[in-house]
Chains A and B, each alone.
Chain A
Amino acid sequence: MIQDLHQQHHLSRRSLLKSTLVTAGGMAVANWGALFHSQTIAAEAKRSGKRCIMLYMEGGVSQIDTFDMKPGRPTGGPFRPIKTNVDGIQICEYLPKMARHADKLAIIRSMRTKSVDHGIGGYHMHTCYPSSEKFPHPEIGAMIAKYCENPQSDLPSFVKLGPAGCNAGSGYLGPQYEPFVLGTDGKLPGFANPSAPPAVQDRRAELLKSFEERYAKQRPAEPFASHREAELRTIRLMRARKAFDVADEWTKARERYGNTPFGRGCFTAVKLAEAGVPFIEVGHDGYDSHNDNFPVHKANLSVLDPAWSSLLQDLQDRGMLKDTLVVWTSEFGRTPAINGQGGRDHFGRAWTVVLAGGGIKGGQVYGASDRDGFEVAEKMVDEGAYFATIYKTLGINHRAKHYLGSRPIWATPEGSKPIEELLA
């Protein structure tokens, strides 16, 4: 028996040597599966196709002061519309850079959603289901991570940056798809920074690896494999930390994106998408303008406009836009009526979201609100249709079936259908 163990030892040593490579610094690291190599990853990402970047306006963004203007109407407010690079589409004067990208945008002006407070709205617009069900629905990011992830990638498949509009996480899809949450500035959480020097990390990782291999030999059960696999991914992630460090490039990019946390978040999102992360959510908060709606939105749009437009431009320049869906959304819109404090309140009856890029037919407005913006006038879009459309463009079956215990549950509720006119 001892002999047998020895033989095993030699075997694993040999296979270890075979899969060892030397880093630029000369340090040998074990290659336990996929190797972190940015070019390999970029190639993988290109091959496997789709990704999604979701820009989430936390607090509830005003449709009338952005993409569904009502000039001359009592609800219109002081902002003026401007022309875009698409005939017949006008948007807010404080989105001048975005006006030059209207050919990429599908503007949905007929959103009608049911959950019009922050917690429940954030939940509904992230999971497609009302929180009142008290069911562990996963966020859209977890769903996309599950179906679009590249299992070979060294990076997490669901990344969140900046203010979060929802913390439902991966729900019934399980911890493998939990969001990996970065700081507002895109920095890694503290506990992702190695607590030991690289040499110590490497040597203890090698000790763990041979320990685990020996243990696994007679124990093929899935949980053990899942545990080992997560350990290897974690080590690869810690080695791949550089992918999150955009500091050098940011000094050049911040001029275009605007030197703001949201701008930096958008830039980081492009870099992560390029490195193979299939879903990145970037949050931008401060839209909940019950008071002083107009100054609040004007200030926010000055942050949004350069960041979003540069993100689209960079995706296009890198040839990534056709495979990257960019979603601009919020928990709900804001009332057409202007209240006594010059504010607009929560509103789900007729508001606007914008899709762009991968799989979306740009340069169009879909649906409409009525003259003053109080109701949907045509082509109402509910949560189900909105999610189904997103999933379809990413090649995900919007009726994908999963289980909580024995109870079946679908990615979108029964009857949800993608909006074909929005698809390229």
Chain B
Amino acid sequence: MNTHARSNLLTALGLLTAAFVLVGGCTSAAGGTLSATIDREIKAGWSKEKITPPGRSSDAVFLRRIYIDLVGMIPGYEETTTFLADTDPEKRAKLIDRLLVDPRYGRQQAQVFDLAMLTRDHKLVDGTVGHRTRGRFREWLAKQFAGNEPYDRIAAKILQAEEDGSQLYFAVYANTDEMAAAVSRFFLGTQIQCAKCHNHPFETWTQKDYHGMAGFFARTVSVEAPGKPEVTNQKGKQYLVGEKEFGDAFFPLEEIDPKTKKKKTIPIKPKFLSGDELKEPEPPKDYVEAKLKPNELPPKPAFSRRQKFVEWMIGKDNPFFAKAAANRVWAQFMGRGFVHPVDDFISSSTPSHPGLLKAMETELVAHHFDLKWLIREIVNSHAYQAADLGDAKDAMPKFYERAPVRPLNVEELTASLHIAMGLGVEAALKVEPNQQMLQYLGKPTDGQGRFQGSLTEHLFFHNGDGFRGMCKPGKGNLAEQLLTGTEDWGKKVERMFLSVLSRPPAGEEREQFVQYLGADGKDPKLAAQRIEDAMWVLVSSSEFRFNK
């Protein structure tokens, strides 16, 4: 069978599988009830909005999508050809199960959560300074996700900050205001920071709510302490988190203090968001807070306000936590949350699919915050496996009528580049994005998460070693294998496309690339340049830049 016929066969098989699943409607071998609920509700949304339902993704599109989403890098050549040739109608569900136990799953999930929690903007975790610290935090997170620790436990452990490697969160959000705002946004999906200075314009939050939240964190301290080299940052320090016995959040009054010429403030009791004030024991009367050195933690307090917050947050009746978690995980795989942005639940606005959000929240609690279960249900749904084609221009269509288009983050891009160049998973896992990659590709979106192509990104694609250098034949990479290989150009082009884009070339592409690669005849130097060019074209394309 020549390659052309083979790829046609692959396509035909893909279509056949798609047809079988659509007609038979039985992906539920792996997807349980939630998966079915997702599809029912999303379909209801389409008919309500009079949207033409999308087709199903091709096998190749699904394969690349699920690899990037679950393990943070594209599939290798062998994995791609094996999957595309597989005629098992359950092959998607089976692949999902395999990837959920792949060691890369925890790492990828950790990267996604780490970036969502800490962003790239914070000095402490930016670039190389403190990088090792961030690496440790990610490793700690990866261990939680890989072991499928329930999400409420992971959240509690981050806020308790006692486990080795888990302390970075409070080192980044080091003062009371930052803690209150960050915890509310990430774990409760709620923005209260504006209420620090004024009652919220579109929301019920008052300044009392804000300062009530802040009260839980007013005693939390993060210090930099000396530590063993393997756990410290570049300044030789590790971060430790503790809590003092005393300390309050202060509420500013309108009245001006004649002495300080600033607004008078009064201490305010911790208050659970939209709930009661914290009942706490009177602090011991004769207690004197120990004098501490800058790098020393206070002794563990008899009563921990932060611990009380954690208990409330993951408590069974918490009105925010499970909803925010369900919405966040859904958005991770579907591009946007039912509430968008994910950290902006506002009581006055309706989620895009309120019934589905409610169902997901309820089931997540019933499944004891089992993230792998939730993710498996989502990615087994038809909604997740929708086609990447359609008229919608929006990167993240509101009714999920097309798969979302999201740029690979710099970690995914770096790893995928290694896979594309045939360097293997081990190499892809070993390499960290370098300073240049972080600088030019680290923040590809604007304040609202919209992708923006930039001159520096493309100049880097064109001329930076990171991309161009990797496309050159050398060190046994794919380009070198193609240069020295004896197959005809048609086979080589096929291998190139399957390696980089996880799909065979279309007829016209094959023709064009074969022509391009063979244009200089057999001269090895000229051929090497043309192979580099062709590889560069594929990794510079928007097909490679995005997950879709």
Contact = CB atoms under 8 A, between A and B. Distances in A.
Interface of A: 2, 5-6, 8-9, 134, 136, 156, 171-176, 178, 180, 189-196, 200, 203-204, 207-208, 210-212, 214-216, 218-224, 226-231, 233-234, 237-238, 402-407, 409
B405 A178 contact: no
A244 to B, nearest CB: 13
B476 interface: no
Interface stretch (B89-97, B367-375, B540-548): B540-548
Contact of A406 (B121, B341, B406, B446): B341
B507 interface: yes
A57 to B, nearest CB: 25
Contact of A191 (B346, B445, B464, B537): B464
B457 A220 contact: no
Contact of B509 (A136, A203, A214, A219): A214
Nearest to B505: A211
B265 to A, nearest CB: 18
B463 A193 contact: yes
A207 B531 CA distance: 12
A234 B450 contact: no
A172 B453 contact: no
Given A173-B447, A175-B453, 18 more contacts: A2-B508, A173-B446, A175-B443, A175-B444, A189-B459, A191-B460, A195-B462, A207-B534, A214-B506, A220-B391, A221-B393, A223-B405, A223-B542, A224-B405, A231-B453, A234-B455, A234-B461, A404-B448
Given A207-B533, A218-B389, A223-B407, A230 B453 contact: yes
B458 interface: yes
Nearest to B121: A136
Contact of B445 (A174, A228, A230): A174
Given A174-B446, A214-B508, A230 B540 contact: no
Given A6-B508, A134-B178, A215-B543, A223 B191 contact: no
Interface centre among A171, A203, A211, A223, by most chain B C-beta atoms within 10 angstroms, is: A223
14 contacts: A175-B452, A175-B457, A192-B463, A195-B468, A196-B468, A204-B534, A204-B536, A207-B537, A212-B541, A221-B394, A227-B545, A231-B453, A234-B459, A237-B459
Contacts of A204: 533-534, 536-537
B395 interface: yes
B454 A230 contact: yes
Given A191-B460, A191-B463, A212-B541, A200 B448 contact: no
B392 interface: yes
Nearest to A229: B453
A406 B534 CA distance: 42
Given A214-B509, A221-B402, A405 B341 contact: yes
B453 A226 contact: yes
Contacts of A212: 541-542
Given A134-B178, A210-B512, A406-B191, A175 B454 contact: yes
Given A174-B445, A211-B537, A227 B453 contact: yes
Contact of A9 (B194, B460, B508, B548): B508
A171 B447 contact: yes
A227 B509 contact: no
A208 B516 contact: no
B435 interface: no
Residue in B388, B536, B537 with the greatest tally of chain A CB atoms within 10 Å: B537
A191 B459 contact: yes
B28 interface: no
Interface of B: 121, 178, 191, 194, 341, 343-344, 346, 388-389, 391-395, 402, 405-407, 443-464, 468, 506-509, 512-513, 516, 529, 533-534, 536-538, 540-543, 545-546, 548
| CB-CB nearest 10 A-B residue pairs | A230-B453, A174-B446, A172-B447, A234-B458, A175-B454, A404-B447, A223-B451, A204-B533, A176-B452, A174-B452
Nearest to B458: A234
B546 A224 contact: yes
Contacts of A409: 447
A211 B457 contact: no
A126 to B, nearest CB: 16
B343 A405 contact: yes
B459 A224 contact: no
Given A195-B462, A230-B453, A402 B447 contact: yes
B274 to A, nearest CB: 19
A308 B245 CA distance: 59
A223 B546 contact: yes
B533 A203 contact: yes
A118 B407 CA distance: 35
Contacts of B121: 134, 136
Given A180-B455, A207-B533, A407 B191 contact: yes
Contacts of B516: 203, 207
A367 B334 CA distance: 56
Nearest to A201: B462
B395 A223 contact: yes
Contact of A403 (B191, B443, B448, B541): B448
A233 B460 CA distance: 13
Nearest to B340: A406
Contacts of A221: 392-395, 402, 405, 548
B447 A208 contact: no
A231 B395 CA distance: 19
A227 B542 contact: yes
A405 B542 contact: no
A222 B394 contact: yes
A175 B533 contact: no
Contacts of A230: 452-455, 457-458
Nearest to A188: B459
A178 B441 CA distance: 12
Nearest to A236: B455
Contact of B456 (A175, A224, A403): A175
A171 B457 CA distance: 16
Contacts of A176: 446, 452-454
Contact of B447 (A192, A233, A403): A403
Contacts of B538: 211
Contacts of B454: 175-176, 178, 230
A405 B344 contact: yes
Contact of A195 (B463, B507, B513, B548): B463
A63 to B, nearest CB: 27
Nearest to B178: A134
Contacts of A190: 463
B507 A5 contact: yes
The residue among A171, A192, A211 with the most chain B CB atoms within 10 A of its own CB is A211
A215 B516 CA distance: 18
B194 to A, nearest CB: 7
Contacts of B455: 156, 178, 180, 230, 233-234, 237
Contact of A208 (B191, B393, B529, B541): B541
Contacts of A8: 508
Nearest to B460: A191
B451 A227 contact: yes
Given A210-B512, A224-B405, A406 B506 contact: no
A81 B279 CA distance: 69
A211 B538 CA distance: 8
B541 A172 contact: no
- The CB with the most chain B CB atoms within 10 A, among A9, A171, A176, A234, is that of A234
Contacts of A193: 463
A409 B534 CA distance: 44
Nearest to A155: B455
A194 B509 CA distance: 26
A193 B468 CA distance: 13
Nearest to B516: A207
B527 to A, nearest CB: 13
Contacts of B462: 191, 194-195, 234, 238
A207 B529 CA distance: 14
Contacts of A216: 542
B344 A222 contact: no
Contacts of B452: 174-176, 226, 230
